[in-house]
Structure 1
Amino acid sequence: MCGIVGLFLKNPKLEPQLGALLSKMLETMTDRGPDSAGFAVYGSDGVSASSDVKLTLRGPGPEALRAAVSKLEQALGLSVSATERDTHIVLAVPGSREEEIRSWLKTHAPGIDVVSAGRRMEIYKEVGLPASVAERFALETMAGTHGIGHTRMATESAVTTNGAHPFSTGTDECLVHNGSLSNHNDLRRRLRREGLNFATQNDTEVAAGYLSWRMREGASLKEALESSLNDLDGFFTFVVGTENGFAVVRDPIACKPAVMAETDDYVAFGSEYRALVGLPGIDQARVFEPEPARVYAWERTTADHASGERH
C-alpha cells in the first residue's frame, strides 16, 4: 500500500507555496506508507545556463558528499555549483559532461548515487516517516511550478532508500506509482536492449523507464501513458512529472483509490481526498475521481499559462 500526491500550479502567485502545500499533502498520507517517502520538485527557475543540467546526488551524509564533489572537481577540472540538503546534494554541471561525471562517480565514488537529472527537477527520498523526510530536506521552503510525492509501505521488498519513489530514468522525468506490475521483469530486459539502465529491481523504475523510452522515440507524455495501458500488465495509478508537464493515469480496472481537484489556480491529485483538504480554495474546486484507462495531462506552455484537461 502506498500514498501518492501531486500538485500542478496554474497560478504563478502560488509558486512560493508549492513546497509547503506538497509537504502537508504528503504528510497526510502517512498511514498509507510510513516506511519511506520521497518527492520531486520542479523549481520555478532552472539552471542559469541553457547548456547546464542539475544532478541530484545521494550519499551517506554531507561529509561524504562534499568529499566526493571535491575529488570530482579536481579529477575532471570542473568547478560546480552545489546545494546541500541532508543526505542529498544538487550540482549544476555542464550538460555536455553529464555522462563523464556519471562515469567518474560510478568508478570513483562508491556509495554516491545519481538520483535525478534535469534542468528544473530535483528529487529527494529517504527511509522514514513522510513528515521527517520532508523536514530533513526542507520541502516547505521549496518553490516551484509542480511536484509529486510518494509514501511507501514496503510490501514486496526491503525498506530501503533505493526502493523509495519517485523514480527517474530521463532528464526532468519522474514517476510515482501505487499498485503492482506483473510483467516488469520481462519489460526490464526489453528496455535494457534499448539502452536503458536500471538501478533497482523495483517495478516502478521499469514503468518510469518505459515512459522515458517511448518519449525518446518521439511520443508525447500523454501518448506514452496511453501506450502503457496496453504494454504494462497489473494494477497501477501513475502520477508523472516532466519539465513542463503533469499527468495521471489509472489502469483499466482502477482498483487503487484516487481523487483529483481542479481550480483556476491548480490541479491536485491524492490517493485520498483528505490529502487535498488543506489546499486553498478546495471548497470551490471541481473534485472528481479520474476514470479508468484515461490519461489526464496538463502542460505549462508559457511562464504564466497552463493548458490541458479541464472538467
Structure 2
Amino acid sequence: MCGIVGLFLKKEDLRPQLGELLTDMLITMTDRGPDSAGIAIYGDDSGKLKITVQSDTPDATFEGLDAALSAALDAPVSMRVVDTHAVLTLPDGAEAQARAFMAEKGIRIMGAGHSMEIYKEVGLPKDVAERFHLRDMVGSHGIGHTRMATESAVTTLGAHPFSTGADQCLVHNGSLSNHAGMRRELAAKGFLTQTQNDTEVAATYISSRLAEGANLGQALEGTLDDLDGFFTFVVGTKNGFGVVRDPIACKPAVMAETDDYVAFGSEYRALANLPGIENARVWEPEPATVYFWER
C-alpha cells in the first residue's frame, strides 16, 4: 500500500519549518506503511559533497570513520552522527574514492549530493522520525515514505527513498512489472542497482535520464513510456520536486499549492494541517501527467 508525502517550499523564510511540517505529514501516513519509513531533506549547498551512510552497528562502525576516510583521501572530512546514520562532508570531487572506501569497509551508502541527506530505517514512522530528529531539520524541500512491503523484505535498504544519483531520490507507491528487464538495460549502460526492490530500478532509470541531459520533467515523462506497471512517483532533485502517476492512476494521490508551498500526499489528511491549506488549490494529479517545480 505505502504512503508518500512531499513538500516543496517556495519561500526562504519557511525553511526552518520544513522538518516539523514534513514529519507530521509522514506520521499521518503510518497506517499506509507501518514497517519502515524514510525521508530525504534538501538543505543549503555548502559547495562540499555530503554522503549519508548507515550501519546496524553505528558505535563500532562510525568510531574514527572520519579520520580514516580523511587519511584515505588525504583531505579533511567531517562527520555528524545521527543514530544509525552519519553524514560525511568531504571535498567535492572525492565521491568515487569515498565510495570505494565505504565498499571495502562494508558501509551502506544511503545517498550523496551537495544538499541532500537521506534517513531511513525499519520501524513505525513516528519512531523513525524521533530517532533522526526529523522535526529539527531545515531545508527547502523534502519527500518521505511509509512502507508496507509487498515485493521484498522489510530491511533498511528496502526502505524508501532510493537515491541513485547526486542529490536525486525517489519514493514510490505501486508495483512495476518490467523491473527485471529494465534492471538489465540499465546495467548495460553502466547504471547498477544494489537491491531487488523495483523502486530502486525506477530511481536508477530517472537518474540515468538526468545523467543523459534530460530535465526532471523529461525524465518523469520517460517513465510513462519505459516503465510498465501501476505507480505514483515523487522525485526530489537539488532544485526540484516532481510527481507522475501511471496512465491508470489506481494509487491514491492529492496535491495542494499555495503561494508558500507545493505539497503532495497519498491522502488529503496528510496535508490537512499545513498552514494555509484552507486557501490552497487542492487537486488530484491527472493520470500520465507530469507535474514538476524547479527553482
Q: Deviations over 1:134-174 (max 9, x none)?
A: 11000000010000000001111111111000001100000
Does the CA contact (< 8 Å) of 1:174 and 1:242 recur in 2? Answer: yes
Gaps of 5+ in 1: 301-311
Q: 8 Å contact 1:249–1:293 — kept in the other structure?
A: yes
Q: How far, CA to CA, are the matches of 2:130 and 2:94 in structure 1? A: 32
- Please give the alpha-carbon distance, in whole angstroms, between the structure 1 residues aligned to 2:182 and 2:149: 22
Q: Give how far 1:61 is off.
A: 3.7
In the TM superposition, what whole-angstrom CA distance separates every residue of 1:104-148 from its partner, at most 9, and x where no partner exists?
A: 1111x12x1111011100000000000100110000000100000
- Residues 51-200 of structure 1 aligned to structure 2 (within 5 Å): 52-63=48-59, 64-107=61-104, 109-110=105-106, 112-200=107-195
Residue 304 of structure 1: aligned partner:
none
TM-score by length of 2: 0.97
Residue equivalent to 1:303: none
Q: Distance in 1 between matches of 2:152 and 2:219?
A: 27
1:15 paired with 2:15, answer yes
Number of the residue aligned with 1:254 = 249
1: CA distance, partners of 2:89 / 2:73: 14
Q: Does 1:220 align with 2:219?
A: no
Structure 1 match to 2:30: 30
- Displacement of 1:84 in angstroms is 1.2
**Superimposed CA distance per residue, residues 227-264 of structure 1 (whole angstroms, 9 cap, x where no aligned partner):** 11010000000000000100000000000000000000
State the alpha-carbon separation in 2 of the partners of residues 243 and 155 from structure 1: 30
- Output the TM-score relative to the length of structure 1: 0.93
Q: Residue type of the partner of 1:46?
A: D
> 1: distance between equivalents of 2:6 and 2:63?
31
2:33 equivalent to 1:39:
no
Alpha-carbon separation, structure 1, partners of 2:139 and 2:94? 26
Distance 1:206 1:132, change over 3 A: same
Root-mean-square deviation (Å): 1.0
Query: Is the 2:38–2:145 contact (alpha carbons within 8 Å) kept by the matching residues of 1?
Result: yes
Unaligned 5+ residue runs, structure 2? Answer: none
Equivalence for 2:262: 267
How far apart are residue 97 of structure 1 and its match? 1.5
Query: Following the alignment from structure 1 to structure 2, what is the Cα–Cα distance between the partners of residues 201 and 70?
Result: 33
| One-letter amino acid of the structure 2 residue matched with residue 106 of structure 1 | A
1: CA distance between counterparts of 2:285 and 2:215?
A: 20
Measured in 1, the distance between the counterparts of 2:73 and 2:140 equals 33
Between the two proteins, what is the percent identity of the paired residues? 65
| Number of residue pairs aligned between Structure 1 and Structure 2 | 294
Q: Separation in 2 of the partners of 1:75 and 1:216? A: 28
